Amino acid sequence: MSTQCGWSLPTGIEKVPQGLSLKREVGIIGAVSFIAGTMIGSGIFISPQYVLLAIGSPGASFVIWACCGLIAMLGGLCYAELGTIIPESGGEYIYMLRTAGKVTAFVFVFSFISVMRPASATGIALSCAEYVVAPFYSGCAPPQLVLKCVAAVVILALALVNCLSVRLATGIQVVTMAIKALTLAVIILGGAVMLFQGNTANFEDSFDGTNVGVKAIGIAFYQGLWSYDGWNTLNYLTEELKRPEVNLPRALVIAISLVTGLYLLVNVSYLTVMTPKELMSSTAVAITWGNKVLGSWGWIMSLAAALSAFGSLNGTFFSGGRVCFVAAREGHMPDILSMAHVHRLTPSPALIFTTVISLVVLIPGDFQSIVNYFSFTAWFFYAVTLSGLIYLKIKKPELPRPYSVSVPIVLPILILLVAIFLVLAPIIDQPQIEYLYVALFILSGAIVYVPFIHFKLCPGMFDKVTTFLQLFLEVAPAEKNL
């Protein structure tokens, strides 16, 4: 058996006699909602103050937000090409497997499931919790324990939804997407009204006080790009997409342009309503904005921001489970994680696994550091993935690219340079030992690979557990859906 691109499939999949496969249920609206709905989460309601704090001036902060949108769009175009050449689910994992090889792909999935996915889930859940409890603690910070318990409940609720039904998860994604688009529209409209009333003072001398240090720029980008992160969500579930060769590129372009436009206008609104000082000292910009513009209706902003984070977490879960699932299918994770529920057709073991790790990370985690370490790791792997695209463009230009989704080679090279800058910036300017730990952790994946995957030490180690869990969770091996 071979894929459309002529690579042979790994052994194991052919052996499944009558395997299940995930259904192609996601259409263009679902696809746009998955991308935009994961991108718009916690970030736009809190990060603007951190971007401003790092970069120092409103003008420069606006430039950073615009550049982040451009980076996401160019990255998205590169991923559209990757997704059409390699039409399998699994995002970066599968692209690395097909270009850079097994060890790199394993190192990625190892970091993905143990650092990146739980970190992003936990970061979003924590900010969702922050908004849920904010109305009950006006004027003081809520206790950490309360925040973490609420975050844990949010994680568990969404894990359950995702295990129960693909349709329900898609539905939540679409509904919360509509709510957040509406919320951002309200913020934009409120700002526009104030702007036309002549509140333009904050835009005078708007570049005064800009910090031009490498670290300041790096951290500002990390915070801004956190809000845009999720632009690659759809590439994790290509096999569940209807007509992926058309819908993947189309959804990427629609969703990323939509989000960029909304974010830029929202930033203008924040700066119209609040002075840079007020913005920098608020705990959550959206709430301060709500209190100033909506008065006693300000609590609506907390509710909307909480729902926004909820939707983003849903998308994060949905796509994160898929990576685990694809890696297990390729023999890089225990078999049980590649199975799907026999009736519901959801990859429940992989989802449960992601949930457990997220709950563990929740115990010590705090939002700021989660965002910085997450971005460092994520951009490292985006760089490796884009190198894969450059490799394919040079070495295999003949691979079929339906609907001629083919970006000029300078694009992946440009984004690769940006990614390298983003990974190096915080280290060069002020080396912090934590980044070394993260780097060592990423590399330790290679050490796990050698005995367990390459030499297959302890074969059958999980056999009994797999059989037990298979019966208990009612799951069976799933096939590729190409």
Residues in contact with ligand ARG by CB under 6 A are 38-39, 41-43, 120, 124, 226-227, 229-230, 312, 316
Least gap, CB of 207 to ligand ARG (angstroms): 26
DSSP state of 26: B
Nearer to ligand ARG, 122 or 202 (CB): 122
Least gap, CB of 11 to ligand ARG (angstroms): 31
Least gap, CB of 284 to ligand ARG (angstroms): 13
Least gap, CB of 340 to ligand ARG (angstroms): 22
Tell me which H or E stretch contains 475.
strand 475-477
Contact 392, 401 (CB under 8 A): no
Q: Integer distance in angstroms from the first to the last C-alpha of the chain?
A: 12
Least gap, CB of 116 to ligand ARG (angstroms): 8
350-370 b/e (C-beta count within 10 Å ≥ 16 → b): bbbbbbebbbebbeebebeeb
Least gap, CB of 385 to ligand ARG (angstroms): 14
Contacts 24+ apart (CB under 8 A), 274-282: 274/202, 275/201, 275/202, 276/52, 276/57, 276/58, 276/202, 279/48, 279/49, 279/52, 280/49, 280/52, 280/53, 281/49, 282/49
Nearer to ligand ARG, 43 or 426 (CB): 43
Name 235's Cβ contacts closer than 8 Å, sequence gap at least 6: 79, 82, 83, 91, 92, 248
Least gap, CB of 39 to ligand ARG (angstroms): 5
SS3 for 480? coil
Name 305's Cβ contacts closer than 8 Å, sequence gap at least 6: 42, 45, 127, 131, 183, 284, 286, 287
Please report the DSSP string for 311-343 in residue order.
HHHHHHHHHHHHHHHHHHHTTSS-GGGGEEETT
Please give the Cα distance from 312 to 169 (Å, whole number): 11
Please report the DSSP string for 41-100 in residue order.
SSHHHHHHHHHHHHH-SHHHHHHHHHHHHHHHHHHHHHHHHHHHHS--SSTHHHHHHHHT
Nearer to ligand ARG, 188 or 469 (CB): 188
Contact 313, 155 (CB under 8 A): yes
Please give the Cα distance from 392 to 412 (Å, whole number): 11
Nearer to ligand ARG, 353 or 449 (CB): 353
Least gap, CB of 320 to ligand ARG (angstroms): 7
Nearer to ligand ARG, 49 or 202 (CB): 49
Least gap, CB of 23 to ligand ARG (angstroms): 23
Tell me which H or E stretch contains 476.
strand 475-477
Nearer to ligand ARG, 120 or 269 (CB): 120
Nearer to ligand ARG, 50 or 435 (CB): 50
Least gap, CB of 338 to ligand ARG (angstroms): 21
Contact 337, 325 (CB under 8 A): yes
**Closest by CA position to 70, among listed 221, 236, 235:** 221
Least gap, CB of 316 to ligand ARG (angstroms): 4
Place of tokens 């509140």: 199
Please give the Cα distance from 353 to 373 (Å, whole number): 21
Nearer to ligand ARG, 38 or 272 (CB): 38
Nearer to ligand ARG, 20 or 351 (CB): 351
Nearer to ligand ARG, 120 or 288 (CB): 120
Nearer to ligand ARG, 223 or 338 (CB): 223
